[in-house]
Structure 1
Amino acid sequence: MCRLALKTASEAFSPYEVLQGMEAMQEGYDGSGLGLLLRGLDFDDYTYNTKNPVLSGIAHTEEAWDRLRNYMDSHGFELKYDHDFDTAPGHLKAHNRYRYFLRVYKLPQSISEKSEEEIEHDLMMTRLALRKDGELHGDDLTVFSFWPDVATIKEVGWPLEIGDGLRLFDNRIKSRVCMAQGRQNTNYGINLYACHPFFIQGIATMTNGENTAFVPIRDWLLGKHFPGYTGYQSDSETFTHILHYTLKQLKLPLQAYKHIITPLRGDELANHPQGDFLRGLRDSCRRLIIDGPNAVIGTLPDETCMLVMDQKKLRPATVGGRPGAWAIASEMCGVDAMVPDRDPSLDFQPMREHTILVPPERKELTIWSQHDPYPLGQAA
């Protein structure tokens, strides 16, 4: 089992707060990987234009660092800000790290004048090209995300050790949403690309559990020949790509995600007001049905946060909070650490049919059931 923690708040906060929530659940992971994804960025030494994409990753050698800078320069990306982590290496297990980077770029005119869909495609392809470059040079360059208002940090080690090593407690970088996963290495070797959260075109998810239907789901996604459906160093990356497929390609609303990964039974669909449509959706996406146990937490570009469970419900998760600040965690103690000033009697643990949403305004939770009708229009 891994451990998951997410905090979302109207006022930007330090990612160190979420690392403290991870510390409260430390018996659930083994230090083989920590992933952080931040949305709604706030830098203390830079006024950030949220239209500019942020490139996140690690250059393991000076040569990789030079190739990265040359690639971005040669493709017309103008560097606007380069975050200095001011690392304290004694706290970090990894030694072959030349430079951690969060670099804000202005888009070249050749890209900025394109449609939104084309810009999203170009950002994705830039990330994939840099990742491929690192792989061709002995994995000396690791790139996690390249997207507006998103920063991703991943490293091997224990959460607070990594937070101390990267000085994440100094409030120089804050965000309104922070996702964190502490990895329990069960299926694969230690690989930074296997650390959650996973990210594609503004969509991020992280998972506690195992996707035993991984191979047929992966093969189905690969068969779509979409460039971003690649990697798969972890079986959980398929959850991110299924959510992307739901929203971006099928153009269905977020509620459809639950109907795809864990469809209702035939007798339940027979009594559902949209049963005919959902039966067709189930049949056409049958290969995307997951086999748990899983708890999946996701976030979207508008800062919506989501929690869903699979049918087996053997990977717990709890959500709690107050207007303006909410937390989702694998254990109640994680929620306690992140939002202590709440009414814990209002905490909620979803059942297998629920999708829990924290909307961008963060006033209250939305608890939606698969048995309820949902809008069939265009995805947001």
Structure 2
Amino acid sequence: MSGIFDELMWRGLVAQSTDETALRAALDEGPITMYVGFDPSADSLHIGNLVQLIVARKMQRAGHRVLCLVGGSTGLIGDPKPDSERVLRDKEQVAGAVEAIRREAASLLDFTGDNPAMMVNNLDWTEPISALDFLRDYGKHFRVNAMIKKDAVSRRLNSEQGISYTEFSYQILQALDFLHLHRAEKCTLQLGGSDQWGNLLAGVDLIRSAEGVSVHAMTTPLVTDASGRKYGKSEGNALWLSPELMSPYAFYQFWINMDDADVVEKLRIFTDFTREEMDEFERQVADEPFRRTAQKALAESVTTLVHGGEATAAAQAASEALFGKGDVTALDPRTLADATAELPGGEVRVGDTIIDVLIALDIADSRNSARRLIGDGGVSVNNVKVSDVDAVITADDFLHGSVAIVKRGRKHLCAARLTQD
């Protein structure tokens, strides 16, 4: 249990915290009860949420008790966006998203064993509260002049659109969660993303006001790309944990294509590799970047964590088949569809000449250039080199009756899709 805060700091998993000295001491003396919450604003968690679940996993393994909250009530309201009012989801949508998020979180935390995590839904304690009780028992602890200083609220107040009382009240609802879990489960630490810092502090302040005790809050950093742009729903580039929203293959490819400048940082955040192993990865990135050892380790580790070993093996096989020397004919239909979904391509017919196929796929801009490519040995279908300029594409070339992988050189891939007319 001792040293968990320093471990999180070394891994870059702590963005902000209340009273660092007191929090470190509480964690070392533990065990404590902590909670991390997720609102069902979508039907899946994303990698920003994954960072918080990874911290929760590490805390649980260190002996602390973890509560995982799914916001059945806060999801009906929505955390204020800095630029516009949220479109409220109906109760059926929220209930469905709650169950989807429950399943994802349950696969990443240990809900059995000697120190089981506990799943909670804030609708259970919020729904019975009347409007009068809400205002008398909780609203009285909040000062409007402090509430309007929160970044998203302040920006909305200064916009033409303003902010509704519904969204303005969100921080009270989230603070109420911390108070309830403190009273019911002796919870003393709330974990969230760094963009939730104001809401976390609202909970800390409510407990101090209502109970007269000090508790803790800690945030994880936002996950960003090399340019500093975050990955998330609001940016339109969320990396979903659900295989229905983002295939395991696409998920694997995201990690294996990580820039050298980012990969060591992401290894610290998203994996359990030791300091010695991290030092070796850092050396390999500096001295042998062409091997992409760090990227391969990152992709395998995170994809296995989220999707399991079988899905990871399928994604690795597909990646090797498309970009290496693997056997594309061995790919199962789902993996093949996922692996070719983002490839450029076009529709072709059984019996089309390879020359016609190259032109249809924009691999060649004329029949003469297509002949030259074939003559130079630069064209393959399903990783089998084409040497005959008069060859035609056959029904057997369409894997699972749907697509053939046409390649120019090693890196220019296209999907020849069997026309449906």
TM-score (norm. length: structure 1): 0.29
TM-score (norm. length: structure 2): 0.27
**More strand as a share of residues:** 1
Q: Whose radius of gyration is greater, 1 or 2? A: 2
